[in-house]
Structure 1
Amino acid sequence: MKIKNILWDFDGVILDSMKVRDWGFREIFEHFDKEKVDKLIDYHRVNGGLSRYVKIRYFYESILNKNISDEEVLVHATAFSDLMRSELTDKKNLIKETVDFIEANHSNYNFHIVSGSDQEELRFICKELGLAVYFNSIHGSPTPKNKLVSDLMFENKYDSNETILIGDSINDYEAAVANSLTFYGFNNTSLKSVSDSYINSFERLVIQ
C-alpha cells in the first residue's frame, strides 16, 4: 500500500536543537545543584520526545525529591519557552537534508508535525523559519505524543497502513507502535534495532 501521510518529529529531525535546549534547561535551573541539573540533561537527551512539562516535573519529583504544583511547572515551562523562541528561530539550526526533502516532497504527501515541544512555541518557530507552509498541521505538548498521533489519525481518517512516523527518540518509536504505524528512525543509531526502516540520509531516502 502506498504511503500517503508522514508524521514528523521536530527536534533532532528537522531542527538541530538539542544543545540549545540543554542550555535552556541549565538557564532556568541555574540556581540548582549542577550535578542534579546534569541528571536532568541526561534524562532530557534520552527522552527527546517527551514534553518539557514532563521533564520539569521529573526534575523536581525524581531528582530533587520535591513536590511541584502545575502552576510552578508552568512558570518554569514559560521561562524555557521564552528562551527557545529567541534562540531557535535562527536558520543555522535547521537540518538541511531534512528540509530539502520536505521542500521537494510536501506536495506528494500529507505532512504533519507531532512533537514534544510546546505547541504554541513550535508553531511560532515553524512560522519564523518559513516551515509552516509545508505542513497540514503542527501539534505539540502538553498533549502526550501518543495522543497527538491518535487524535491526528482519527480526525483526518488516515489509514495506519498509509502512514509513517519519522523520529529520533524512543518516545517517537513508542508513539508509532501505540498507533500501529511504521516507524522510520533518524539521527539516533540506537534506534536501528527497533526501526522498521532507518534513515541514514534523506538524500537517498525511498519511502515504501
Structure 2
Amino acid sequence: MKTVFWDFDGVILDSMKVRDYGFEKIFEKFSPEKVQKLIQYHRENGGLSRYVKIKYFFNEILGQDISESMVNQYANAFSLIMRRELTNPDNLIDETVKFIKNNYTNFNFHIVSGSDQDELRFLCEELNLSHFFLSIHGSPTPKTQLVGDIMRQKEYNLSTSCLIGDSKNDYDAAQSNGIAFYGYNNEKIKDLGVLYIQTFEEFTLS
C-alpha cells in the first residue's frame, strides 16, 4: 500500500458519545423518543454527514419538510458543541495515532470524513494532527466523491490505495472507488467479509 484514506470518527477520534450529546442538545425541544430514533440512526450510519442526519430526523422521523437554511442552522449549532467538546486529547484513539505518527512519512495519508470539513480541520489543528496528512476533507461533500476526487487529482493507483473505516458507509466509499477496505473498531462490519484490524499495534500496511 502507498495511499491510505482515513475515516476520522471512531478510527482516530472516539467521538460517538459526544456526537450523541450534540444531537440531543440541538433537538432538545423535540420528543426524547423521536431524538433517540435519530441517535440510533446516527450510530448505525457513522459515515454519513450531520446534514443527512438532520434531514432524516425531520423528513423520516418527524414527517416534516425542512429548508436548507434550517438544516445549516442546526448543523452550525451542532458544530459549535463539537468544537467545544472534542478538542480534549483524551478522546484520541491512542493506538491509531501512534500508528499514524510512526508511518506518515512512508505513505500518502488523507482524512475523508462525514464530519463537517471546517470543524474537522479545526479539530485536527487543535489536536496537533494536521501535519500527518496530505489533505483533510469532510462534509457536505459525500465521502465516495471525496475519495474519487483525490484519487483522480493525485493519480493514485487503485491497487495500492485503501480506506480504513468503521462503518458500512466507509466500506461503500471504498467499493465505489475500486480500492481496498480495512474495517476497524466495529465488530459488526466483519459481517461484510472485509479485512479487519483488531489492533493497530499488530497491523502493518503491505
TM-score, L = length of structure 2: 0.99
1:75 aligns with 2:77: no
Identity across matched positions, percent = 59
Which ranges in structure 1 are unaligned for 5 or more consecutive residues? none
1:26 aligns with 2:38: no
CA distance in 2, matches of 1:12, 1:122: 14
CA distance in 2, matches of 1:10, 1:195: 22
CA distance in 2, matches of 1:129, 1:97: 15
CA distance in 1, matches of 2:125, 2:115: 15
Shift of 1:206: 1.9
CA distance in 2, matches of 1:48, 1:129: 21
Shift of 1:195: 4.8
CA distance in 2, matches of 1:10, 1:206: 19
Which ranges in structure 2 are unaligned for 5 or more consecutive residues? none
Aligned to 1:140: 138
CA distance in 2, matches of 1:60, 1:131: 35
Shift of 1:196: 3.5
CA contact (8 A) 1:182 1:196 kept: no
1:206 aligns with 2:194: no
CA distance in 1, matches of 2:192, 2:135: 27
SS state at 1:192 partner: helix
SS state at 1:7 partner: strand
CA distance in 2, matches of 1:74, 1:198: 35
CA distance in 1, matches of 2:18, 2:174: 26
CA contact (8 A) 1:25 1:41 kept: yes
CA distance in 2, matches of 1:46, 1:152: 26
Shift of 1:131: 0.2
TM-score, L = length of structure 1: 0.98
2:177 to 161, 176, 179: 179
Q: Hey, which bits of structure 1, 4+ residues long, moved more than 3 A?
A: none
2:64 to 63, 66, 72: 66
Map 1:1-208 to 2 at 5 A.
Answer: 3-208=1-206
SS state at 1:207 partner: coil
CA distance in 1, matches of 2:194, 2:31: 41
CA distance in 2, matches of 1:88, 1:79: 14
Write the letter of the residue equivalent to 1:50: L
SS state at 1:193 partner: helix
SS state at 2:164 partner: strand
CA distance in 2, matches of 1:110, 1:152: 11
SS state at 1:140 partner: strand
Q: Taking structure 1 as reference, are residues 47 and 79 closer, same or farther at Cα in structure 2, changes over 3 Å only?
A: same
